[in-house]
Amino acid sequence: MSNQKAIATPTRTKEILNQYGFSFKKSLGQNFLIDANILENIVQHAGVDDHSGAIEIGPGIGALTEQLARHADRVVAFEIDQRLVPILEETLSPYENVTIINNDILKADVNKVIRTQFEPGQSLKIVANLPYYITTPILMKLLMERLPVENITVMIQKEVADRMAASPNTKSYGSLSIAVQYYTEAKVVMNVPKTVFMPQPNVDSSVLQLTLRDTPPVQVTDEEFFFTVVQATFGQRRKTLMNNLSRHFKGKFDKEQLRYKLTASAIDPSRRGESLTMEEFATLANLLYEEPETN
C-alpha cells in the first residue's frame, strides 16, 4: 500500500488530471496540493492516529485523503464536484477505510454523517484544504453545529488564518477573531507557500488549528445579541465604540444610555472595537441586553 507513489507530486497530479481530462473550476476554488511532506505535517499537527476518525472537506483528487487514510482508522470526505468522484474512487482504491460523500458541506447534515459513519465516542478530527472563497461560511457552520470533534485543522488563506487567530489591539483582530475564538482556541501551526499548489493561487496559505472548547470562555445572556454587539463595534474600524454603537442601535439606545452602559462596563466610550477583549465584549453585551426597548 505505502509503496504506491503519493498523489501529491506534480507528475502524479498531472498524470491523473490528464487521464481524466479534468479541468479546474474557478468557481469551486480548486487548488490541489503537490507536496506530500506538507500533507504529512498537516496530518501530524491534527493528531490523527489509528484510533481517529477523520472528516475531510474538498478532497480534490485525494492528495490529503491518502495521507489521512494511511494514519486514521476511518476517513469520510465531502466532495461537491461530481466530476471528481470517479477519480477519487480510482486514486483511493488501495484504501478500504475511505468513504466519499458527493455533497456540499454547507448543505450536509454533518452530525448525522458522524453518527452513521463513525464508532460512538470515537476521537474525531476535521482536516481539510479549504477553498478560499468559502472558508468562513464552512468553518462557522462547523462551529455553530457544535460537532463532537476534538479539533479542526485547515489550510486556508494566510490572511484569514491570521484574522481568526488574532489577539486584541492588532490589525487582524475583528469580529471574525471573536466568533472563532468563542468556540475554539485558535492558532496558526504552519505557513505554506503558494508554490506547492496546482494551479498556483495568488496568495500564501497557513494551516490553522482550532481546538474546540467544551464551554465558551465567556458567559453571555444571549449569543446572537453578543455577536451583534461585536459586529456593530467593528462597523467602521476607525470610529470609536460610541460612534459605532450609536449608529447601529439608533432608535433603540440614545447616546446617554450607551454612555451609561459603557461606563457601567468599565469601558471608555472613546475606545475602538479592536482594543476590547472578549470578556469586555461579553460584559457590555450582557448589560445592553438587559435594557428594555425604548419606544
Assigned fold of 10-212 = Rossmann fold (3.40.50)
- In this predicted structure, what is the pLDDT of residue 51? 97
What's the rounded mean pLDDT across residues 130-153?
94
**Domain residue limits, the chain:** 10-212, 223-290
- In this predicted structure, what is the pLDDT of residue 237? 84
Report how far residue 17's alpha carbon sits from residue 61's, in angstroms, rounded to the nearest whole number.
8
Of 31-35, 39-43, 259-263, where does mean pLDDT reach its minimum? 31-35
Model confidence over 51-93: pLDDT tens digits? 999 999 999 999 999 999 999 999 999 999 999 999 999 999 9
- In this predicted structure, what is the pLDDT of residue 23? 76
> What are residue 190's phi and psi, to 5 degrees?
-165, 155
pLDDT band (50, 70, 90) for residue 294: very low
Please check whether the two domains, 10-212 and 223-290, share a CATH topology: no
- In this predicted structure, what is the pLDDT of residue 1? 44
Is 79 a known ligand-binding residue? yes
pLDDT of residue 42 exceeding 60? yes
Whether the link from the prior residue into 217 is cis, omega within 30° of 0, is no
pLDDT of residue 198 exceeding 90? no
- In this predicted structure, what is the pLDDT of residue 181? 98
In the chain, count H helices and then E strands.
Answer: 12, 9
pLDDT of residue 38 exceeding 90? yes
pLDDT of residue 27 exceeding 70? no
* Predicted structure pTM score: 0.91
> How many CA atoms does the CB half-sphere of 122 hold within 13 Å?
22
Give CA separation, 22 vs 15, 25, 77, 200, 276, in Å.
10, 9, 19, 16, 48
Of 194-203, 242-251, 279-288, where does mean pLDDT reach its minimum? 194-203
Which residues are CB-neighbours of 125 under 8 A, at least 6 positions away? 46, 47, 48, 52, 53, 54, 55, 72, 149, 150, 151, 152, 153
Is 33 a known ligand-binding residue? yes
Is 129 a known ligand-binding residue? yes
Grid cell 479592536 is found at 274
Report how far residue 101's alpha carbon sits from residue 105's, in angstroms, rounded to the nearest whole number.
9
Is 58 a known ligand-binding residue? yes
Report how far residue 11's alpha carbon sits from residue 18's, in angstroms, rounded to the nearest whole number.
10
Q: Which three cell numbers stand for residue 240?
A: 470609536
Report how far residue 187's alpha carbon sits from residue 208's, in angstroms, rounded to the nearest whole number.
6
Is 31 a known ligand-binding residue? yes
Report how far residue 32's alpha carbon sits from residue 137's, in angstroms, rounded to the nearest whole number.
21
Model confidence over 114-136: pLDDT tens digits? 999 999 999 999 999 998 888 99
pLDDT band (50, 70, 90) for residue 295: very low
pLDDT of residue 7 exceeding 90? no
- In this predicted structure, what is the pLDDT of residue 49? 97
Give CA separation, 197 vs 4, 11, 19, 20, in Å.
21, 13, 19, 19
pLDDT of residue 163 exceeding 90? yes
Model confidence over 230-272: pLDDT tens digits? 999 998 888 999 999 999 999 999 999 999 999 999 999 999 9
Report how far residue 102's alpha carbon sits from residue 240's, in angstroms, rounded to the nearest whole number.
47
| CATH classification number, 223-290, choose in 1.10.10.10, 3.40.30.10, 1.10.8.100, 3.50.30.10 | 1.10.8.100
pLDDT of residue 292 exceeding 80? no
| 7 vs 100, more confident | 100
pLDDT of residue 48 exceeding 50? yes
